[in-house]
Amino acid sequence: MDTTETELAGLGLAELRTVRRDALEQEADLSYLRRLLQGRVDILRAELDRRTLELRPVPPTAETLLHRLPQILADSPSHVRQSARHVTLGTPRGEQYQEQADALMGDVQLADLAAHASAELLAALDRLTEHEREVSGRRSALQRTADWCSAEITRRYREGEARVEDLLMDRPAAE
């Protein structure tokens, strides 16, 4: 068990629930940021792919990046097996995540990708991809914390260290 789990093990039941709730809320906020980053990464890749294809002797199509957005942003099935986790998606509690995603774009604005050189788009793509990896790592740590708290709460009930009656007595009576 690492230091974090050792520290968590010393918390009371109510404190464990608070830590778990906070971890899940932060994870949901980071999930929002991650989706913003992934969407922008997908758009930049599609624009760079379009530019590469234009260099090949293929008949041009009238389909623009805007027309292809639903296809670009659609989630394809994941080949990675993961445990199911319910995440309520919504806008984060603060605007910091939207501002963070905007700042990472730098001078590259999605509304006018054609005005930017491929090198600028590649630099923005690198920044966004690196930040997405960092956000994913933070999300994973928060998920581990929430999972550990849940397992510890379950263990305490299973082993008799906590009782349902105590939980019910702590709640205010319904009016």
Which tokens is 135 given? 């956000």
Residue 8 has pLDDT above 70, yes or no: yes
| 114-158: pLDDT as tens digits | 888 999 999 999 999 999 999 999 999 999 999 999 999 999 989
Which tokens is 150 given? 């849940």
Rg (CA), the chain: 22
Average pLDDT over residues 38-46: 89
Cβ(87)–Cβ(28) under 8 Å?
yes
Cβ(71)–Cβ(49) under 8 Å?
no
Cβ(32)–Cβ(90) under 8 Å?
yes
| 64-108: pLDDT as tens digits | 666 766 776 676 655 555 555 555 556 666 677 767 767 766 666
Cα separation of 49 and 59, whole Å?
Answer: 15
Which tokens is 144 given? 């581990």
Cα separation of 146 and 28, whole Å?
Answer: 12
Residue 55 has pLDDT above 50, yes or no: yes
Residue 169, C-beta contacts closer than 8 angstroms, at least 6 positions apart: none
Cα separation of 139 and 23, whole Å?
Answer: 9
What mean pLDDT, rounded, does the chain reach?
78
Cα separation of 151 and 140, whole Å?
Answer: 16
Residue 167 has pLDDT above 70, yes or no: no
